[in-house]
A and B are shown apart, each in its own frame.
Chain A
Amino acid sequence: MDVLRFSVNGEMVDVAGLHPTTTLLQYLREHRHLTGTKEGCAEGDCGACTVVVSDLVDGEPRWRAVNACILFLPTLHGREVLTVEGLASPSRPLHPIQQAFVDYHASQCGFCTPGFVMALAGQQLDRTHAEHLMPEDVLAGNLCRCTGYRPILEAAAAAGPVEARPATVGPAGHEMLDFRGGGGRFRAPRSSDELAACLAETPGATLLAGGTDVGLWVTKGLQDLDDIIWTGACDDLRQIAVTETDLRIGAAVRLYDAHPILGEERPELGELIRRFACVQIRQTGTVVGNVMNASPIGDGSPAFLALDASLVLRRGDERRTVPLSEFFLAYRKTALQPGEFAEGLVVPRPVDGEVFKAMKLSKRFDQDISAVMGAFRLVLRDGVVAQARLAFGGLAAIPKRALASEQALSGRPLTAATVESACDALGRDFQPIDDVRASAAYRSEAAQNMLRRLFHEVTRPGLAARVHDLEVAA
């Protein structure tokens, strides 16, 4: 197959001859001359390139605001793209969101403005759990350097709801997408079985999930990725199965879609996901992809390590379950074998007496990468720590459990003295480094203080202990 077919602002387009790592942003600007969508960073961090794309779910479009700058074009096959140019209509030259931006003086230089408008449009069109997000959450992934955001937030609050937008594109054929163009190949298997077969055929292919990291290999690393297999079309990997004991999160489940389920079960995990990058990234990035890329500063891994999660890995028809605590071996090195892929992540459900806390430290509170990320799961029985799993990101070359510190807590009553001994033990668990996000000294100090905060929060519920939980008036 050498043609991609999708719709742009309601018009069907066929694309041929382009390399599969051509981004949606490049395509819109250079090939469609739709220059309203801007490049501000080419790494999914500024939101100037925000567009809205659809999935067809049971015949209904499911709209997602995404970063066009790191989205590979073949992932749009059979989908719909809405850009700032397509928002208004002949009968309505300004969409209500656009009108509100004019009325509230919400643009200055205007370069970021289309991205803001589209992030809000994505929220309005999305009928899932977007209504639970505050405007500043919806816009966490959009940077504006001029306005200071006040008029933007007011415009966002004032823009009236918009009518649903019907789908203009049908399902994309019955065959698996196997696109070739510009010397590259892109396959989109539709099930775990097809994915296993693709990978068996070409074990060296690049496995692509949400692409929020792989995209940067191309836009920043200037790598040539000529053989890509995408998990995003595998319907059976886009499910979350809830059993008595576990949540089983499929490998293609997006962070945004997992957010309500994980957040309902453990509010601290929900808050962590809310702070995970931004809506645009969560609408493409997957829970499992964040674990599989094995970054030492990913947000998900410490949390899932603390929760004793396991990965289900598959090669051909063979499957094995690997506890996450045995998965990360060295910097960006994992127990994944050649030709093997993750089908999903198994997360145990809460038990009685469980305390789960996730603490993320970053220079900026929202949409930042953590300097230190701590996740803690205790099971308390009569004031005694029956189980302790403490995991950290940002302190080592891999996301890692604090085994010595866990030992200092386990089987002991949860007292200040116990916590201090656990803090001391952290020095045996980790020797962090200096980098752009923080010094080694800060990382060590803050990690210990996270345990102290854990203690305060467990023993003195109701104490104001986090700056962002605070009401404004003193």
Chain B
Amino acid sequence: MTRIAAAHAAIPHDSAQLHVTGRARYVDDLPEPQGCLHAAVGQSKRAHARIVRMDLSRVAAAPGVVAVLTGADIPGSNQIGPVLLDEPALAQHTVEYAGQAMFAVAATSYQAARKAVLLADIAYEDLPAAIHLEDALQQDLDLLPPHRMGRGEPDAAIARAPHVLTGRFRHGGQDHFYLEGQIALAVPTDDGGFDIHSSTQHPTEVQHVVARCVGVLDAQVRVECRRMGGGFGGKETQANQIAAIAAVLAQKTGRAVKFRLDRDVDMTLTGKRHDFLIDYQVGFDDEGRIQGILFDQAARGGCSADLTGAIADRAMFHADNAYYFPHVLIRSRRMKTHTVSNTAFRGFGGPQGMIGIEEVIDEIARHLGRDPLDVRKANFYGPAPRNLTPYHMEVEDFVLPEMLAELEESSDYRARRDAIARWNEDSPILKRGLALTPVKFGISFTTSHLNQAGALIQLYTDGSVLLNHGGTEMGQGLYVKVQQVVAEELQIPTSQIRITAADTSKVPNTSATAASSGTDMNGMAAQAAARVLKERLIAFAAGKYGLPPHRIVFQDGQVLLGERPISLRELAKEAWMARVQLSATGFYATPKIHYDREKASGRPFFYFAYGAACCEAVIDTLTGENRILRADILHDVGRSLNPAIDLGQIEGAFVQGMGWLTTEELWWTKEGQLGSHAPSTYKIPCASDLPKDFRVRIWESGRNREPSVHRSKAVGEPPFMLAIAAFQAIKDAVAAAAPGRGSPRLDAPATPERVLFAVKELRSRRAQPVELPTAAE
């Protein structure tokens, strides 16, 4: 008899049929409770100001308005911050960014609520504002204490090095642009509690924040999320405020309240990826091998702490990417600006740290006149002592040399490098560029206690199974993967397992579905629950049928009692008759990890995920327009739990990363108004931005050397950083616009404007000889 091979099967997303028919329900699609009201918020027009007067009488009198709410009216605590209590749900006394919520209304319709909030009479007294990261640095406005991490004596090593480069690189932030905007529906229950439907990656935190704001016990708040229309980190903490305001208004009116942000409000009210300014000093030898390196990372944190501490830490953890630093110091500052609080976004600081070192490597290569790929390889982690990260963790599973060799060959890197050089000679206006960059990304929450998950499995007497766990579904395919794990364990078809919404009343005290850890942790917890249930049934059957436990085998939709197969349905029924419990919980805590933040030392990551991308770009030297012509990707997902889902994550992350580094630009006026607040002004990639030649492969040899769920690897975030190859390819094309003039200065995102000015600046330089390797003869 064969086994059901549910793990590793490329089956469709569990909701695929619901998606394509429009039957998949998101929060705004749920039938509204009788008398449901609609909320809207009044937003600050100033970046930093004292609120001198806030007269809401016209708002209250507007048609349809049932309730008006200010920060002072919030019965519990007016605090929504996830880590520090430094962020009000509704601003009181002062505002700290343009767009900040100052008051809320509940009205009989969505339109009535939106119109009413425009009627407020507010007087401000402006205070000095830091809009740009540079402003905050000039004013020494630190949001959180600086942090440092390092090893050895970098200053001395740099001083000894044959070559030294210093430089500065900056990159922009990013709006999540999940297609479904933030939304919550709060329904008061008859016992003073609340049922909340929230589009959130972190139902437990929504539960805590709602309870805190309304002033009730956690147990009185139930938060449910069946699916989100995209999350990408933007619904890790940013859903808190939406649900809290809906709940307080629901409490105040005694009616259900739905709070849905329209796109402009979503983009001006809620947080974005941190932009960074990175200064570096690096010493290296003639091969480009780094001897010592100093990084100064400055992150825009916005007006409140949110998750900035952990995000800036992760940027430090990824300042090495795939490279060994004999001597290193990474300093990090987390700056306060009078702009919306920056928050989690796919990669969580990883991309910000990683692009810094990829820039440095590229600069080294151009300085030496070497191929950047060779310099990358020369700096790779290797056997001890070249296996130690700046945070003293040993890299035990370094598979990049193998992967890179494979991709270098399959992408035909060397031949194309030559062909492009020849093509550029004959093309005065258009120039092409090529780059191949690796990714090494640490998997685990670096806040170690968050690495825990729970699951609940219920077997019914007809043999069907109901599955619940703490993870949330935002499109990444978590639910189908966990379903596959349970199907594999119980040897039943996935169709026999019903997936249910994340619900704080079923699995409590969950962590956010974040850090790419959803499947790793919830899959293991669900597997554990399934095993508990299975073992209970085996013990029962062994007793009843007088067989040793190992003769009871779950296989191919049946249970073998020795030679005799019976259905799970029959076994469940018999067990129930014998008063055996048919529900089970499972729990998982990631092993091995520990980290001492004070010493910046430990093993924060269970393992690393790897990947590499080779991109070819073309730029127009007259306009700066650019395009990625071809991308070859090889990515390591361990042993894939579901290759179809994993491929989707790799491709989607790469294109999203491309957007971050090319067309997506957040733009503030000098007064601090966000000018890019809708898809008309903020441009995420569209269908024609996909590279015409796009070759994406899951690395066949991938296995997780750690005992992860079915030896798979996390895949949500790591491939995002493959897009650094796209940026570096554009930079390579800029360099081709004026050979012999040194390395171009190009910051991200590589908009047409930045590319054009990089070309112009490069061409304005005097021709300079490339520094040749020392062996002249």
Binding site for B on A (CB under 8 A): 29, 33-43, 45-46, 48, 83-85, 87-88, 93-94, 97-99, 101-103, 105, 107-114, 117, 135-137, 139-140, 142-153, 220, 222, 359, 361-369, 371, 435-439, 441-442, 445-446, 449-450, 452-453, 456, 463-468, 470, 472, 474
Task: Please list 29 pairs of residues, one from A and one from B, whose beta carbons are closer than 8 Å in the complex, sorted by A's number.
Answer: A35-B22, A36-B23, A38-B26, A41-B263, A42-B262, A98-B17, A98-B21, A101-B20, A109-B178, A109-B180, A110-B475, A111-B179, A136-B686, A136-B690, A139-B687, A140-B687, A145-B177, A145-B652, A147-B648, A148-B651, A150-B690, A363-B665, A364-B683, A364-B689, A365-B689, A453-B623, A464-B429, A466-B625, A472-B692
Q: With a CB–CB cut-off of 8 A, which chain B residues contact A45?
A: 678-680
Q: With a CB–CB cut-off of 8 A, which chain B residues contact A99?
A: 20
- Evaluate contact between B656 and A467: CB separation under 8 angstroms: no
> Once bound together, how far apart are the Cα atoms of A99 and B753, in whole Å?
42
Shortest beta-carbon distance from B59 to chain A in Å: 14
Among B16, B31, B685, the residue within 8 A (CB) of A102 is B16
Q: Known contacts A102-B16, A369-B680, A467-B619; decide if A35 and B430 are in contact (CB<8 Å).
A: no
- Evaluate contact between A107 and B19: CB separation under 8 angstroms: yes
Interface centre among A88, A117, A364, A439 (most CB of B within 10 A): A364
Q: With a CB–CB cut-off of 8 A, which chain A residues contact B427?
A: 464
Number of chain B residues close to chain A: CB under 8 A = 99
When C-beta atoms are compared, the residue in chain A nearest to B114 turns out to be: A222
- Evaluate contact between A442 and B688: CB separation under 8 angstroms: no
Q: With a CB–CB cut-off of 8 A, which chain B residues contact A113?
A: 19-20, 22
Q: With a CB–CB cut-off of 8 A, which chain B residues contact A371?
A: 752-753
- Evaluate contact between A107 and B13: CB separation under 8 angstroms: yes
Q: Known contacts A38-B179, A111-B230, A112-B179; decide if A465 and B430 are in contact (CB<8 Å).
A: yes
Stretch at the interface among B162-170, B273-281, B415-423: B415-423
> Once bound together, how far apart are the Cα atoms of A149 and B689, in whole Å?
9
- Evaluate contact between A363 and B756: CB separation under 8 angstroms: no
Interface centre among B227, B229, B624 (most CB of A within 10 A): B229
Q: Known contacts A361-B752, A367-B686; decide if A450 and B21 are in contact (CB<8 Å).
A: no
Q: Does B321 contact A (CB under 8 A)?
A: no
Among A48, A93, A145, A147, the residue within 8 A (CB) of B684 is A145
Q: Does B28 contact A (CB under 8 A)?
A: yes
When C-beta atoms are compared, the residue in chain B nearest to A437 turns out to be: B681
Q: With a CB–CB cut-off of 8 A, which chain B residues contact A94?
A: 17, 20-21
Shortest beta-carbon distance from B436 to chain A in Å: 15
Q: With a CB–CB cut-off of 8 A, which chain A residues contact B178?
A: 109, 111, 145
- Evaluate contact between A474 and B419: CB separation under 8 angstroms: yes
Q: Does B629 contact A (CB under 8 A)?
A: yes
Interface centre among A29, A45, A94 (most CB of B within 10 A): A45
Shortest beta-carbon distance from A390 to chain B in Å: 16
Q: With a CB–CB cut-off of 8 A, which chain A residues contact B625?
A: 361, 365, 466-468
Q: With a CB–CB cut-off of 8 A, which chain A residues contact B681?
A: 369, 436-437
Q: Does B127 contact A (CB under 8 A)?
A: no
> Once bound together, how far apart are the Cα atoms of A361 and B28, in whole Å?
37
When C-beta atoms are compared, the residue in chain B nearest to A148 turns out to be: B655
Interface centre among A111, A114, A445 (most CB of B within 10 A): A111
Interface centre among A85, A135, A152, A361 (most CB of B within 10 A): A361
- Evaluate contact between B687 and A436: CB separation under 8 angstroms: no
Q: What 4 A-B pairs come out closest when comparing CB atoms?
A: A36-B22, A109-B475, A111-B229, A110-B19
Among A35, A435, A450, the residue within 8 A (CB) of B623 is A450
Shortest beta-carbon distance from A218 to chain B in Å: 9
- Evaluate contact between B21 and A436: CB separation under 8 angstroms: no
Q: Does B118 contact A (CB under 8 A)?
A: yes
Q: Does B618 contact A (CB under 8 A)?
A: yes
Interface centre among A153, A362, A446, A452 (most CB of B within 10 A): A446
- Evaluate contact between A109 and B474: CB separation under 8 angstroms: yes
Interface centre among B118, B432, B675, B688 (most CB of A within 10 A): B688
Q: Does B626 contact A (CB under 8 A)?
A: yes
Q: With a CB–CB cut-off of 8 A, which chain B residues contact A149?
A: 655, 685-687, 689-690
- Chain A at the B interface: SS class: loop
When C-beta atoms are compared, the residue in chain B nearest to A222 turns out to be: B115
- Evaluate contact between A109 and B228: CB separation under 8 angstroms: yes
Q: With a CB–CB cut-off of 8 A, which chain A residues contact B679?
A: 40-41, 43, 45-46, 143
Q: With a CB–CB cut-off of 8 A, which chain A residues contact B428?
A: 456, 463
When C-beta atoms are compared, the residue in chain A nearest to B16 turns out to be: A102
> Once bound together, how far apart are the Cα atoms of A468 and B618, in whole Å?
9
> Once bound together, how far apart are the Cα atoms of A148 and B753, in whole Å?
24
Shortest beta-carbon distance from A50 to chain B in Å: 11
Q: With a CB–CB cut-off of 8 A, which chain A residues contact B476?
A: 108
> Once bound together, how far apart are the Cα atoms of A108 and B232, in whole Å?
12
When C-beta atoms are compared, the residue in chain B nearest to A105 turns out to be: B644
- Evaluate contact between A220 and B264: CB separation under 8 angstroms: yes
Q: Does B694 contact A (CB under 8 A)?
A: yes
- Evaluate contact between A453 and B629: CB separation under 8 angstroms: no
Among A35, A136, A151, A366, the residue within 8 A (CB) of B28 is A35
Q: Which of B639-689 contact A (CB under 8 A)?
A: 644-645, 647-648, 651-656, 663, 665, 667, 675-676, 678-681, 683-689
Q: Does B18 contact A (CB under 8 A)?
A: yes
Q: With a CB–CB cut-off of 8 A, which chain B residues contact A112?
A: 179, 229
Interface centre among B21, B420, B692 (most CB of A within 10 A): B21
Q: With a CB–CB cut-off of 8 A, which chain B residues contact A33?
A: 31
> Once bound together, how far apart are the Cα atoms of A439 and B756, in whole Å?
12
Q: Which of B365-414 contact A (CB under 8 A)?
A: none
Q: Does B15 contact A (CB under 8 A)?
A: yes
Among B20, B626, B629, the residue within 8 A (CB) of A107 is B20
When C-beta atoms are compared, the residue in chain A nearest to B416 turns out to be: A474
Q: With a CB–CB cut-off of 8 A, which chain B residues contact A153?
A: 687, 690
Q: With a CB–CB cut-off of 8 A, which chain B residues contact A472?
A: 629-630, 692-693
Q: Which of B593-619 contact A (CB under 8 A)?
A: 616, 618-619
- Evaluate contact between A152 and B645: CB separation under 8 angstroms: no
When C-beta atoms are compared, the residue in chain A nearest to B434 turns out to be: A474
Q: Which of B40-63 contact A (CB under 8 A)?
A: none
- Evaluate contact between B690 and A436: CB separation under 8 angstroms: no
Q: With a CB–CB cut-off of 8 A, which chain A residues contact B419?
A: 474
Interface centre among B180, B623, B689 (most CB of A within 10 A): B623
- Evaluate contact between A467 and B694: CB separation under 8 angstroms: no
Q: With a CB–CB cut-off of 8 A, which chain A residues contact B688?
A: 136-137, 140, 365-366
Q: With a CB–CB cut-off of 8 A, which chain B residues contact A98?
A: 17, 20-21
- Evaluate contact between A150 and B694: CB separation under 8 angstroms: yes
When C-beta atoms are compared, the residue in chain A nearest to B753 turns out to be: A442
Shortest beta-carbon distance from A434 to chain B in Å: 9
Q: With a CB–CB cut-off of 8 A, which chain B residues contact A83?
A: 22
- Evaluate contact between B230 and A109: CB separation under 8 angstroms: yes
Shortest beta-carbon distance from B25 to chain A in Å: 7
When C-beta atoms are compared, the residue in chain B nearest to A41 turns out to be: B263
- Evaluate contact between A43 and B475: CB separation under 8 angstroms: no
Q: With a CB–CB cut-off of 8 A, which chain B residues contact A362?
A: 683, 752
Among B19, B26, B474, B678, the residue within 8 A (CB) of A43 is B678
Q: Given A84-B22, A145-B177, A359-B623, output 10 extra A-B contacts at Cβ < 8 Å.
A: A35-B28, A94-B17, A105-B13, A109-B227, A145-B684, A147-B652, A362-B683, A437-B681, A438-B752, A467-B627
> Once bound together, how far apart are the Cα atoms of A435 and B673, in whole Å?
12
> Once bound together, how far apart are the Cα atoms of A108 and B476, in whole Å?
6
Q: Does B33 contact A (CB under 8 A)?
A: no
Q: Known contacts A45-B679, A85-B21; decide if A102 and B12 are in contact (CB<8 Å).
A: yes
Q: With a CB–CB cut-off of 8 A, which chain B residues contact A466?
A: 430, 620, 625
Q: Known contacts A146-B648, A151-B648, A467-B430; decide if A37 and B22 are in contact (CB<8 Å).
A: yes
Among A108, A445, A452, the residue within 8 A (CB) of B756 is A445
- Evaluate contact between B25 and A474: CB separation under 8 angstroms: no
Q: Known contacts A361-B752, A436-B676; decide if A108 and B689 are in contact (CB<8 Å).
A: no
When C-beta atoms are compared, the residue in chain A nearest to B22 turns out to be: A36
Q: With a CB–CB cut-off of 8 A, which chain B residues contact A446?
A: 622-624, 752, 756
Shortest beta-carbon distance from A440 to chain B in Å: 11
> Once bound together, how far apart are the Cα atoms of A179 and B676, in whole Å?
37
